[in-house]
Each structure stands twice: as C-alpha cells, then as structure tokens.
C-alpha cells in the first residue's frame, strides 16, 4: 500500500512539474513549462485576484442602499421609560439613487474588469514569451556543446592521422603540433559552453520556480518552416486583439461612463419613508377631538436630495472625470502608435531573419559541410596543408553555431511577434 501511494505521489509531482528535490533531472516539454510558469507566476495571480475583486464590485454596484428602520417612543413622562410613552412610531426608510445611476456605475466597473482581463492576458503572453526565450536559450547552449563534441571527435581523429603521417615523414612537426593545438583550443571552448548551459538552466529554473540547480532537460531546438507573414492580416489582428490595446480601449470606455455618472450627480436622489404610529394615550392622537378617534395611524414621505451646491461639489467631479476621459483617450492613442512601431520593427526583423535562415539552410551550412569533406580528401592526398583544413573545419563549426543561434533568435522573435498580435504563436 505504501509503495502504491509513493508512486502516485511521484506521478503527481511529475505531472505538476513542481520539482523540489535538488539532484534530480527531468525532461520538460515547452508547453508544460509555459503552463507551470503561468500557474505559479505571482504577477498572474495578482491580476487574477484584481480581476475577481473588480467583478465582485461590479455585481455589488446594482445592490440597493441599506434601509433604515426607526422606532420612536414619543412623549414619555419619565426619562428612558418606553412603557410610559404616549405613542410608539415605526418607520422604514429606503434611500434610492436617481434611476440609471447604478447601471452606469456598474457599466464603468465592468469596463475596468475587462481592462484587467486584457492585462491578465497580456501577462500570460509575456510569461509564455519569457519561458520560450529561456527554453530555447538552454536548447541552444546544449546544442553548442553537441557541436563542440563533434568538433572534438573530428580533431581527435585528425590527430591520429597527423601522428601517423608525421611518423611516416609526410607532414612536418608544425602541422602535427597545430593539430594538437586545435584540439586543446576546442577543449577550452567547452568550458565556456558548459558555463552557458548553467546560466541558461538557472534562468529557466528561476522562471519555473524550480530549485536553481535542478538539472532540467529540454527538447531539441525545433527546425520549423518560416513562411512569409501576411502583413495586412497580422496588422488587423494586432489592432483587434492585442491585450494592451484592448485594455486601453476598455479604460477609455470606463472613463467615459464615469464622466457620464459625474454629470448624473446633478440629478436628485430620493428617500422613501413609510411608517405607522400606535398611540397609548387616546388624547395624544391628532384625531382626539373626533368621535371614535383611531389610535393607529400611518405616514408616508418622499424626500429629494437636491445638488444646490453643485458649483462647489459636483462641478469639480465633472471637470475631473472629463480630464480622466481625455487622458484615457491619449493613452489609447499612444498604445496604438507604439504598437504600430513595434509591429513594423518586429516584422522587418522577422523578414530579415527569414531570409538569412533560408540562406543558411540552403547554402551556407550545406556548402560549409561540403567544403570540409573536400578539404579532408585534399589533406589526405597532400594537396592542402593543415592550416587550410583547420580553417575549413572552423568555418563548418561556426556555420552550425551561427545557424542555430539565428534559428533561436527567429523563434524568440516570432514568439514576441505573436505576443504583439495577442496570440501564443
């Protein structure tokens, strides 16, 4: 039984991806990493609670004011002795705002809730982009180690060939020593690459709220197609669904309704009162001079609160909300302008990287590999020296490094472009 529970617990921990035991390692898919970061992000939880709080306030806005119930013991012949009062009056008072004020107030708060919802979506996309960047950077750091290992194996095989040829007298000692030098230099590069892995892993663990030294494993860098972007469709998506623009638009709508509510403050509010009075002494009733005077009467009252001092009170509220409305308009215009600038810049960078990636995939990487293969054959037949071969091998390694660095840059820039459009690309 204990064993079953232990394995269930391990499965739950693995599923939730909350790793708390240093020294363990696990492979985490990108979609799982994003889900974990979004679930644990304090910024997202902050906005979620703000949203729920504002939604509760919107529901509360339609609630009527609390009524007031009053009991009056009139004309007591002895202080604080209700049993000696001549009359007992019961009154119920209900304040009522001018019709429509509560609905306008609720609409304004609802717009604020929608603005928070858009801000929450923006934060979710930002967290996803941060995770993608750290995830791909860790993948790139580990890919560079693989490239270094391939280069190391190449230099070791080359050193064995050079040793045999040097012993046979077909190459000089300089070539033999240069082969050793290339091997040792490549080993030094490995130390820097391993440091890069630790740095990238630490950053990803921090974003995932894992222990700093957790040995997290990521999927290889995806080599995907990168087709041209439909500019008109992408721009329309950005204007329509970018969370920052939507949040600013909802803020404008909320400010507009608050300004309308400020103008409505010039309208009167009401207070309705209904009551009944029981007379304990017949001569205390106002109908005492009549035969069969009633000892039980009723009352009703309508009270209006008039904004007579609006020049000192409501007028400044109207002026204030008018400026808030103008400020919200200006903010929306600023967000749209910044979005357009970011859109054009991101699109230009993506197009440039797309062209470069195509060139790497179709020309630079294949040609550098072909050049290395030919150099090996030529070196074996003595047509080129070791310096030329080493330069060709370095070019092949650099072509691979540059290609994967460009690919990671494209993937992270594409994720940022999706964030700009309000999508998780």
The pLDDT tens digits of the residues spanning 258-291 come to 999 999 999 999 999 999 999 988 888 888 878 8
25 confidence band (pLDDT: 50, 70, 90): low
Give the pLDDT band of residue 6 (cuts 50, 70, 90).
very low
Q: How many CB atoms lie within 10 A of CB 36?
A: 20
Angle of CA points 56, 58, 59, to nearest 5°: 65
Q: How far is CA 65 from CA 86, 272, 424, in A?
A: 32, 12, 45
Prediction pTM value: 0.82
Instruction: Output the average pLDDT for the chain.
Output: 88
Q: Are 392 and 419 in contact (CB under 8 A)?
A: no
Report pLDDT for 41: 94
| Separation of alpha carbons 398 and 232, rounded Å | 37
Instruction: Report pLDDT for 71.
Output: 94
3-state secondary structure of 288: coil
- Among 23-27, 113-117, 198-202, 392-396, which stretch is predicted with the lowest mean pLDDT? 23-27
Answer whether 118's CB lies under 8 Å from 98's CB.
Answer: no
Q: Per-residue pLDDT for 413 more than 50? A: yes
**pLDDT at position 399, please?**
93
Q: What is the mean pLDDT of residues 84-106?
A: 92
Q: How far apart are CA 1 and CA 279, in angstroms?
A: 78
Q: Which pLDDT score, from 0 to 100, does residue 408 have?
A: 95
Give residue 13's pLDDT band: very low, low, confident or very high (50, 70, 90). very low
The answer on pLDDT for 154 being more than 90 is: no
What's the distance, CA 200 to chain centroid?
A: 21
Q: What is the pLDDT of residue 7?
A: 38
* DSSP state for residue 28 in the 8-state scheme: E
Lowest mean pLDDT among 99-103, 160-164, 256-260, 330-334: 160-164
pLDDT at residue 384, rounded to an integer: 80
The predicted pLDDT at position 4 comes to 37
Q: How far apart are CA 303 and CA 272, in angstroms?
A: 6
Q: What is the pLDDT of residue 12?
A: 36
| Residue 155 pLDDT greater than 90, yes or no | no
- Reported as a single tens digit per residue, the pLDDT across 329-373 is 999 999 999 999 999 999 999 999 999 999 999 999 999 999 988
- Residue 46 clears pLDDT 90, i.e. is over it: yes
Mean pLDDT lowest among 32-41, 189-198, 305-314: 305-314
User: Under CATH, which architecture does the 2-40+97-267+307-421 domain have?
Assistant: Up-down Bundle (1.20)
Q: At a CB cut-off of 8 Å and minimum separation 6, what does 255 contact? A: 321, 324, 325, 327, 328
pLDDT for residue 234 is more than 90: yes
Q: In Å, how far are 2, 27, 203, 224 from 15, measured between CA atoms?
A: 20, 12, 21, 27
Each residue's pLDDT tens digit, 78-89? 888 888 899 999
């Amino acid at each position: 039984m204990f064993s079953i529970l232990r394995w269930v617990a391990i499965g739950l921990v693995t599923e939730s991806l909350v790793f708390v035991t240093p020294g363990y390692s696990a492979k985490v898919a990108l979609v799982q990493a994003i889900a974990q970061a979004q679930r644990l992000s304090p910024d997202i939880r902050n906005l979620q609670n703000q949203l729920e709080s504002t939604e509760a306030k919107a529901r509360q806005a339609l609630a009527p004011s609390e009524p007031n119930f009053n009991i009056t013991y009139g004309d007591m012949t002895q202080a604080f002795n209700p049993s000696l009062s001549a009359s007992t009056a019961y009154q119920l008072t209900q304040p009522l705002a001018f019709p429509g004020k509560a609905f306008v107030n609720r609409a304004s708060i609802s717009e604020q809730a929608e603005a928070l919802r858009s801000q929450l979506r923006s934060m979710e996309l930002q967290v996803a982009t941060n995770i993608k960047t750290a995830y791909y950077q860790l993948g790139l750091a580990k890919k560079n180690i693989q490239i270094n290992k391939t280069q190391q194996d190449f230099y070791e095989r080359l050193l064995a060939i050079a040793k045999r040829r040097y012993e046979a007298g077909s190459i000089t000692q300089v070539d033999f020593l240069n082969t050793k030098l290339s091997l040792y230099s490549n080993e030094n590069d490995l130390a820097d690459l391993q440091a890069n892995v630790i740095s990238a892993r630490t950053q990803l663990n921090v974003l995932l709220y894992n222990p700093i030294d957790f040995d997290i494993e990521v999927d290889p860098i995806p080599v995907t197609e990168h087709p041209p972007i439909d500019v008109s469709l992408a721009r329309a998506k950005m204007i329509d669904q970018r969370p920052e623009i939507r949040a600013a638009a909802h803020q404008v709508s909320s400010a507009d309704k608050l300004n309308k509510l400020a103008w409505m403050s010039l309208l009167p509010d009401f207070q309705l009162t209904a009551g009944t009075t029981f007379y304990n002494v017949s001569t205390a009733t106002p109908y005492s001079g009549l035969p069969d005077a009633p000892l039980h009467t009723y009352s009703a009252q309508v009270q209006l609160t008039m904004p007579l001092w609006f020049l000192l009170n409501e007028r400044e509220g109207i002026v204030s909300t008018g400026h808030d409305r103008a400020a919200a308009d200006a903010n929306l215009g600023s967000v749209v302008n910044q979005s357009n600038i970011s859109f054009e810049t991101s699109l230009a960078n993506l197009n440039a990287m797309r062209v470069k990636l195509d060139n790497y995939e179709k020309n630079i990487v294949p040609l550098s590999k072909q050049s290395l293969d030919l150099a090996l054959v030529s070196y074996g037949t003595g047509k080129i020296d070791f310096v030329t071969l080493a330069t060709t091998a370095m070019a092949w390694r650099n072509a691979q490094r540059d290609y994967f660095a460009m690919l990671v840059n494209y993937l992270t820039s594409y994720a940022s472009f999706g964030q700009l459009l309000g999508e998780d690309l």
